[in-house]
Amino acid sequence: MRVHRWRAGVVALAVSASAAAAPTSPFQPMFDQARQHYALPGLAMAVVEDGQVVYQYTAGERRAGTGEAIDENTLFKIASNSKAMTAALLARLVDRGALRWDDPVIRYLPQFRMHDAWVTGHMQVRDLLIHNSGLGLGAGDLMLWPEPNAFTRQDILAGLAHLKPVTSFRSGYDYDNLMYVVAGEVAARAGG
């Protein structure tokens, strides 16, 4: 009889451990399925409400086969996905009245300089997001890639003055990464 009680206790512990490990959010099964479907080595997610993390979930490895677990401090290379986040952050700051789309960049970053002094004075927050600075496709990208490199955001800001435009300001479109670095700095200065 004593053996049976012990087994019942083990089963109860196993059931409670499995209940404790059960998803605490409806998101967890969805993320587990996506991870399996797309053969992702790992992922992380968080739900933030009123500026507080109310739920977070991590699973898998930073790089397949390394055994390095993903945790809440893992940084992911999200590349140009950050452009949408930067634009959304600026829009929230505009909604709060912390900045305006037509504010000059130098209001927030007095050290900001483009190759042309007129462009420096007239570059607005909105211009940072719409790829019309006059810089050519990929201008200055060597300050971002390959990684690792020693360029800081301040180096990138200082380097803009040395990049010659290929078109007139606001006259064309060339995909641009560096203006989004500037946009992120504007957001930080405006309170984002």
Distance in angstroms (rounded) separating the CA atoms of residues 69 and 90? 33
Q: Which domains are delineated in the chain?
A: 2-60 (no CATH), 81-190 (3.40.710.10)
Residue 104: predicted pLDDT: 99
Distances (CA, A) of 3 to 6, 7, 8, 9, 10: 5, 6, 9, 10, 11
Distances (CA, A) of 166 to 115, 121, 169: 11, 19, 9
- Hey, is 71 helix, strand or coil? coil
- Hey, is 26 helix, strand or coil? coil
Question: Got the DSSP string for 110-148?
Answer: TT---SSHHHHHH-BTGGGGTT-SSPPTTTTGGGT-SSS
Q: What is the mean pLDDT of each run of 10 residues along the chain (192 residues)?
A: 39 35 70 93 91 91 94 89 96 97 98 98 98 95 84 94 97 95 97 78
Phi and psi dihedrals of 60, rounded to 5?
90, -160
Residue 5: predicted pLDDT: 41
Closest CA to 28 of 66, 56, 48, 53: 56
Residue 24: predicted pLDDT: 63
Active site amino acids: 80
Instruction: Tell me the residue ranges of DSSP E strands in the chain.
Output: 42-49, 52-60
Instruction: Give residue-wise pLDDT tens across range 17-30.
Output: 333 444 467 888 99
Residue 192: predicted pLDDT: 65
